[in-house]
Amino acid sequence: MSVSAIRERIFSFFVTRGPQVDVTEYAEENAPSAAAKLDKTLEPAYLPEGYALEDSSADEESSYLLYSDGESFITIEQFAKSAYKSATDGEYKTEKRVASDGVEYIVRTSDDGATLLVWEKGDCVFELLGFISEDELIKTASSLS
């Protein structure tokens, strides 16, 4: 599967969902006092078999990594807390909290098999999205360094 096909799948995933939009962002009292910048982009030491980096981008407040195995994808986004804002439009049917190795993850799942993890680490918020098992996503997330 080409990078453009994966991008189209990601785009279609986000734009073909229901009408309700939920926005998540950090209130000023919870965000760092100064405009936060990313010191460095964290990368996974572990990826499920066959996944390799296909695309990446970064600016002062966020970074994006796209991994693919040719059939499916995993995206990892890292945001400075002060820059984090997430909007979901009802695509996730379930949401729960899972603790692993001292980290609390918000786990959202959709009917089409996508799982989104959201968690905090230091002055950053991370989102990891993939069409693999929750356990594999958490293993990937916990390997970021």
The pLDDT value recorded for residue 98 is 95
The pLDDT value recorded for residue 120 is 92
User: Phi/psi at 6 (nearest 5 deg)?
Assistant: -65, -45
Answer yes or no: is pLDDT of 90 > 50. Answer: yes
The residue range of the domain holding 18 is: 3-142
What is the domain-level CATH number for residue 70? 3.30.200.100
Least confident piece of the model among 31-35, 41-45, 67-71: 31-35
Residue 17 tokens read as 């969902």
**Cβ neighbours of residue 91 closer than 8 Å, sequence gap 6 or more:** 13, 14, 17, 18, 110, 114
Instruction: Tell me which of 81 and 7 has the higher pLDDT.
Output: 81
> What SS3 class is residue 123?
coil
Answer yes or no: is pLDDT of 93 > 90. Answer: no
The pLDDT value recorded for residue 86 is 72
For tokens 């820059």, the residue is: 83
For residues 71 and 2, give the distance between their C-alpha atoms in angstroms, rounded to a whole number. 9
**Overall average pLDDT of the 9-27 stretch:** 47
Instruction: Tell me which of 85 and 16 has the higher pLDDT.
Output: 85
Answer yes or no: is pLDDT of 127 > 90. Answer: yes
For residues 136 and 141, give the distance between their C-alpha atoms in angstroms, rounded to a whole number. 9
Answer yes or no: is pLDDT of 106 > 80. Answer: yes
Closest CA to 80 of 38, 113, 138: 38
Considering the chain, what is the average pLDDT of its residues? 81
| Number of domains, the chain | 1
